[in-house]
Structure 1
């Protein structure tokens, strides 16, 4: 028996987790994937609680699917490090940890689609910025976002990476761009237009940049996420098959 646990960041209190879980169910309501949703921040539906229940139900193969865009502290410390504990605690269960979603090639296609949706806002005097969360202690998000900005399929436009946290933080990267372009089209590379996106917009407004700022929508649980998650599940299954085959040799 195999189960996939979709891991969402979430909040410890409030109704946001219910909204996020509903988004996930809408993505998968027409699939046969056996899955549960767990939250890194939750008083009732934590990752530890969901894994314990999954093991008690008799599952011997568990795919851990982080709904995170990049590898950073949550991926390494809250999931990967903990997986070592679960592997020892539940030795009869085979755990596979999937890669984050933001590094999948389909996300570059999503960026290009955003450029098409907002092409009426773009001309030769427009700078295009992909804005993500980032991390002050891990450089993987900076590297991955820079690669995404360089590799999106629509080579008609140059994109610039910018972060809320880390070496590419927007408080340092946006001013030079604002002095170079008459308008900045900012693509929020976040799962949904929530608290952090709105907070960042307010902080950017407070910078009083000498240019017009236009924002696209965030990912907002676009169907592309379903495509990527299914691909990540398939990769977990393939890795498990290779592992099982190696054990037989």
Structure 2
């Protein structure tokens, strides 16, 4: 039997986890996927608890799909390191860890659509910034976001990466852009317009940059996420099929 566990960051307290869970259930209500939801931050539905329950239920193939945008500390330390432990603890179970969601080509399409939606805000004096979470200890988010920005750059429009944390910190990257452009269009590359996005907007305002700043909406659980998650699940299933074939040979 095969089960997919969708891994969400979540919060240890409050109602956010319930809202996230309701959204995921609504998203996959019409699919035939056998799945469960686990949280990195939860007092009741932690990833470790959900994995243990899944194994007890007799599943022998477990697809782990992190609902994260990039690989960084949560991906490597909270999930990948645990997977290695589970492979030893549950030797009878085949665990497959999917890639994060933000590096899928469809996310580049989402950014393009956001820019198109706000095309009335863009002219020759506008710089476009993709703003993401970032990480001070891992450079993979910087590399992925820089590539994403390069994909949106053309002869007519320059797109720049910026982060809340890490080397591309907005406090370092935005002032030079404010000196170059009269306007900035900032695309929040976050799952939803929540606490961190609003906090970062306030911090950017406190920089008193001499430019007009417009923000697009964040991803806000756009339906594109469903297609990306399904693609990540399919990749896990394909990897399992290939490994089975190799073992049989």
Question: Normalising by the residue count of structure 1, what TM-score does the alignment of the two structures yield?
Answer: 0.98
Q: 2:195 corresponds to which residue? A: 195
* Cα distance between partner residues in 2 of 1:156 and 1:217: 23
Q: Deviations over 1:1-60 (max 9, x none)?
A: 111100000000010101111121122111111111100000000000100111111111
**Contact 2:124–2:156 under 8 Å retained in 1:** no
Instruction: Determine if the alignment matches structure 1 residue 46 to structure 2 residue 63.
Output: no
Matches within 5 A, 1:30-69: 30-69=30-69
Specify the alignment match of 2:138 in structure 1. 138
- Distance across 2 between alignment mates of 1:6 and 1:157: 36
Structure 1's unaligned 5+ residue stretches are none
- Asked if 2 retains the 8 angstrom alpha-carbon contact of 1:112 and 1:153, the reply is no
1:164 and 2:164 correspond:
yes
Q: 1:107 to 1:154 in 2, by over 3 A?
A: farther
Instruction: Tell me, in whole angstroms, the C-alpha distance in 1 between the residues paired with 2:188 and 2:24.
Output: 20
Gaps of 5+ in 2: none
Q: Do 1:112 and 1:154's aligned partners in 2 also have CA atoms closer than 8 Å? A: no
Contact 1:109 1:152 survives alignment (8 Å): no
Q: Per-residue deviation at 1:153?
A: 8.4
Provide TM-score, normalisation by structure 2. Answer: 0.98
Q: Is the 8 A contact 2:152 2:158 kept in 1?
A: no
Paired residues, number: 249
Question: Deviation above 3 Å: which 4+ runs of structure 1?
Answer: 152-156
Cα distance in 2 for residues equivalent to 1:31 and 1:41: 26
Distance 1:189 1:106 in 2: 13
**Mapping for residues 1-249 of structure 1, pairs under 5 Å:** 1-152=1-152, 156-249=156-249
Q: Please give the alpha-carbon distance, in whole angstroms, between the structure 1 residues aligned to 2:139 and 2:54.
A: 33
**For the residues of structure 2 that align with 1:55 and 1:245, how far apart are their CA atoms?**
23
Q: Deviations over 1:186-225 (max 9, x none)?
A: 0000000001000100100110011011100000010111
Residue 61 of structure 1 deviates from its aligned partner by 0.5
Q: 1:205 to 1:96 in 2, by over 3 A?
A: same
Distance in 2 (CA, whole Å) between partners of 1:30 and 1:151 is: 33
What is the CA-CA distance between 1:156 and the residue it aligns to? 4.6
Write out per-residue CA displacement over residues 221-240 of structure 1, whole angstroms, 9 at most, x where no aligned residue.
Answer: 10111111111111101111
Q: What is the rounded CA distance, in whole Å, between the counterparts of 1:56 and 1:29 in structure 2?
A: 25
| Aligned-residue CA RMSD (Å) | 1.1
The alignment partner of 2:41 has SS state of coil
